[in-house]
């Protein structure tokens, strides 16, 4: 491991060849498929490579590897749980958005977001439908958090104006119908 820290490619290759079967077994016992175990093993080696400078020469290397592997496994589990929770919220939201209201004021989501620009629509869908945070949306759109906030604010204002106009026209039609009766 000390030679690997110094950039010795042969030492890195030997280390990977010697340790990978043990780490693969560690993951294979705990995940559902071999493909997931291989993915976690690869992620572990990427992390080991990234933090190899923190290894203290002279100490046992296997416990250090297993600690990193354990953190990779825990991160994977947390990521899976977050993804599953977001998928459930998205299914619930899409079910609610698809149901029309009795008053006819709630349109389908595409109709509701139609007046927005493409960038505003994208931000609103990521924030409200996908449930992403401002930081996640900023990373996904390669913009700043401030830019995401500004687009969301302008989109909300445009949606309020559009919905107020639709509400006013629906109320006017109800009033005119009552006047005819």
Query: Distance from first CA to last CA of the chain, Å, rounded?
Result: 89
Closest CA to 73 of 21, 62, 86, 81: 81
pLDDT of residue 10: 93
**To which residue do tokens 């992620």 refer?**
43
pTM exceeds cut of 0.75: no
DSSP assignment string, 4-22: HHTT-HHHHHHHHHHHHHH
| CB burial of residue 35 (10 Å; 0-12, 13-18, 19+) | exposed
Hey, what are 15's tokens? Answer: 């280390």
Q: How would you write the pLDDT of the chain (181 residues) with one tens digit per residue?
A: 888 888 888 999 999 999 999 999 888 887 778 888 899 999 999 999 999 888 888 888 888 898 899 999 898 888 888 777 776 665 655 555 445 444 444 457 778 888 898 889 888 888 887 788 899 888 888 889 999 999 999 999 998 888 888 767 665 555 455 445 4
pLDDT of residue 129: 79
pLDDT of residue 18: 92
Domains of the chain with CATH codes: 2-84 (1.10.1740.10), 103-180 (1.10.10.10)
pLDDT of residue 175: 45
Chain-centroid distance, C-alpha 46: 21
Task: Confirm if 125 and 90 have CB atoms less than 8 A apart.
Answer: no
DSSP 102: T
pLDDT of residue 42: 94
Task: Confirm if 114 and 154 have CB atoms less than 8 A apart.
Answer: no
């Amino acid at each position: 491991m000390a030679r690997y820290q110094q950039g010795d490619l042969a030492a890195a290759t030997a280390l990977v060849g010697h340790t990978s079967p043990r780490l693969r077994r560690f993951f294979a016992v705990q995940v559902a498929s071999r493909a997931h175990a291989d993915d976690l093993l690869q992620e572990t080696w990427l992390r080991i490579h990234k933090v190899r400078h923190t290894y203290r020469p002279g100490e046992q290397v296997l416990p250090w590897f297993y600690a990193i592997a354990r953190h990779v496994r825990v991160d994977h589990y947390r990521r899976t749980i977050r993804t599953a929770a977001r998928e459930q919220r998205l299914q619930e939201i899409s079910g609610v958005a698809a149901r029309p209201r009795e008053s006819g004021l709630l349109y389908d989501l595409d109709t509701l977001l139609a007046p927005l620009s493409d960038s505003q629509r994208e931000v609103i869908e990521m924030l409200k439908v996908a449930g992403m945070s401002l930081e996640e949306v900023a990373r996904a759109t390669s913009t700043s958090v401030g830019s995401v906030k500004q687009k969301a604010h302008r989109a909300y204002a445009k949606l309020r104006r559009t919905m107020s106009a639709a509400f006013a026209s629906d109320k006017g039609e109800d009033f005119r119908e009552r006047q005819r009766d």
